[in-house]
Amino acid sequence: MGIYICPVCGKSLEIGGNTYKCEKGHSFDIARSGYVNLLLSKHIGKAVHGDNKLMVQARRDFLAKGYYSGLKEGLCELAVKHNCGPVILDAGCGEGYYTSAISDILDRSEIASEIYGVDISKIAVEFASKSCKKISYAAASVFHLPVADLSCDMLVTLFSPYCGEEFRRVLHKNGIMIMAIPSADHLWEMKEKIYDIPYKNEVKPYELDGFDLVDKRHIRYNIQLDSAEDIRALFSMTPYYYRTGKIQQERLYALDKLATTVDFELLVYRNK
């Protein structure tokens, strides 16, 4: 039956043909690419940025070149190490790069899995659903997950908004959450190129209400970008893209090569 619930009434959704439908008659068509739109207009905040197809494709191409493969490999190792059941939700899955990687490593490790991906960008989940039919993708807000209570064994959240109450709700007791956050020196050299006075990232205390920290991994290495296209794609993947002035952006766009540090924290929590 799956873990999705109706975003209108909260009842379980069942698939009939190319439609998800609840017992109250609310129905949601499955797109030709394979994802379902469970995003209600009232759940779309004013601060949401609508990424166009070119931006989504640029990020997809950037990741496919392996610049963040170190993070992907670390995530996959932790997903296997802390596996506690088949149902995995990627909350804020984007184009599905990491979601597919988790699915692949579990298959290779002969670990049963039932994987779901949710993102507020319909364009992103369309790309994701086209790339891996085994994973069930939905357009939805991580602040209003259309997911049943206590239905997930593991939840993955990578650089997405943290929604502790929702994450604890959908995880069963002792369920695992893997979180990725930027560490202090992430993209430091890129920021030096852009800003007059760059600042390092603030890494907040690891403690989270309702969770126990059970594992962590620091991933840091250097990448060399050899094209303006890749530099712009990387920039578009960061929060700086939306809050950097025109002068600073022009400094970056003038570059055709960039060597920079990638610096991540992978944190593993258990739901209390």
- At 51 the pLDDT is 63
- Is residue 67 one of the residues assigned to a domain? yes
Give CA–CA dist 189/162, Å, rounded: 27
For residue 121, the domain's CATH number is 3.40.50.150
Number of domains in the chain: 1
**20's tokens:** 């998800």
Backbone angles phi, psi at 4, to 5 degrees: -70, 140
* Contact status, residue 6 vs residue 23, Cβ threshold 8 Å: no
DSSP string, 53-100: HHHHHHHHHHHHTTTTHHHHHHHHHHHHHT--SSEEEEET-TTSHHHH
* Contact status, residue 79 vs residue 178, Cβ threshold 8 Å: yes
| Rg of the Cα atoms in the chain | 19
**58's tokens:** 């640029």
- Is residue 28 one of the residues assigned to a domain? no
For residue 184, the enclosing domain spans 35-271
- Is residue 93 one of the residues assigned to a domain? yes
- At 43 the pLDDT is 66
Give CA–CA dist 179/75, Å, rounded: 9
- At 228 the pLDDT is 95
Please list the residues that pair with 90 across neighbouring strands.
117, 156
- At 240 the pLDDT is 87
- Is residue 189 one of the residues assigned to a domain? yes
Q: Encode 244-255: b = buried (16+ Cβ within 10 Å), e = exposed.
A: beeebeeebeeb
- Tens digit of each residue's pLDDT, the chain (272 residues): 699 999 999 999 999 999 999 999 999 999 999 999 999 877 665 544 456 677 788 889 999 999 999 999 999 999 999 999 999 999 999 999 999 999 999 999 999 999 999 999 999 999 999 999 999 999 999 999 999 999 999 999 999 999 999 999 999 999 999 999 999 999 999 999 999 999 999 999 999 999 999 999 999 999 999 999 999 999 988 888 888 999 999 999 999 999 999 999 999 999 99
* Contact status, residue 216 vs residue 206, Cβ threshold 8 Å: yes
Which 3 state secondary structure label does DSSP give 255?
coil
**79's tokens:** 């997903």
Backbone angles phi, psi at 180, to 5 degrees: -115, 130
- Is residue 13 one of the residues assigned to a domain? no
Which 3 state secondary structure label does DSSP give 192?
helix
Residue bearing tokens 């059970």: 214
- Is residue 21 one of the residues assigned to a domain? no
- At 47 the pLDDT is 47
Handedness of CA 99, 104, 107, 111 (dihedral sign): negative
* Contact status, residue 213 vs residue 267, Cβ threshold 8 Å: yes
Backbone angles phi, psi at 162, to 5 degrees: -90, 125
- Is residue 209 one of the residues assigned to a domain? yes
* Contact status, residue 98 vs residue 266, Cβ threshold 8 Å: no
Which 3 state secondary structure label does DSSP give 17?
coil
- Is residue 264 one of the residues assigned to a domain? yes
